[in-house]
Structure 1
Amino acid sequence: MLFHVRMDVNIPKDMPKEEADQIKMTEKAYSQALQQQGKWRHLWRITGQYSNISIFDVDSNEELHNLLQALPLYPYMNIEVMALNRHPSSVRDSDA
């Protein structure tokens, strides 16, 4: 199942820099592991914002929910999820 996910990050301004840097480092390692596994298919930064647009390829809504909740930055995110389905006019034979 493919999902379009927008993540807007809002780290509190009063969070110590060292703590924020540690969370970001852990987040990067986790997100790269999911990308290597093929679950986090695409990751794009939104210009001028601390936000991203991502495409996830997972087996279920619950799997996506669990992956997102495990993000170290999850407590500081607003997340929007849209399930994706193949469009009948697509000229592509697969989602690869």
Structure 2
Amino acid sequence: MALFAVLATQAPHGISGDEFRQRLPEGFSYTKTLVDKGFIKHSWVRVGAAGGLNIYEVDSHEQLLTLLYDNPVSPHLRFEVIPLARPDAFDPLAFRK
């Protein structure tokens, strides 16, 4: 399993800001489904920013892409994907000189 932090920022394209806000409940519902299925381990709304931060646990990069782009509001979001590693997976002694 792979962990990814995904920053999603609102970037409405081809629709008005009002139309985007009307569609947001679809995106929140989709995100809740991913939380319920265990793909999203943590989910936050970013205070002072238009977007959120989710921690995904998936089998592959391809699965992450599918989950991101299946979101009904994904055409109106910009994603920053950050691969993560668990601290206990890192052996700092392996990099000693």
* Structure 1 or 2: more helix by fraction: 2
Once the two structures are superposed, the pairs formed by residues 1-96 of structure 1 within 5 Å of their partners are 1-11=2-12, 15=16, 17=18, 20-21=21-22, 23-88=23-88
| Cα deviation digits, residues 59-78 of structure 1 (max 9, x gap) | 11000000001111211111
Q: Note the C-alpha offset of 1:43.
A: 0.9
Task: Tell me the C-alpha RMSD between the 2 structures.
Answer: 2.4
Decide whether aligned partners of structure 1 residues 74 and 89 sit closer, same or farther in structure 2, where only a CA change above 3 A counts.
closer
| Cα deviation digits, residues 24-76 of structure 1 (max 9, x gap) | 12212111111000101111111111111110011110000000011112111
Which of the pair has more CA radius of gyration? Answer: 2
Q: Distance in 2 between matches of 1:27 and 1:46?
A: 15
- Normalised by the size of structure 1, how large is the TM-score? 0.78
- Normalised by the size of structure 2, how large is the TM-score? 0.78
Paired-residue identity, %: 27
Displaced runs of 4+ in structure 1, greater than 4 A? Answer: none
Q: Distance in 2 between matches of 1:88 and 1:37?
A: 25
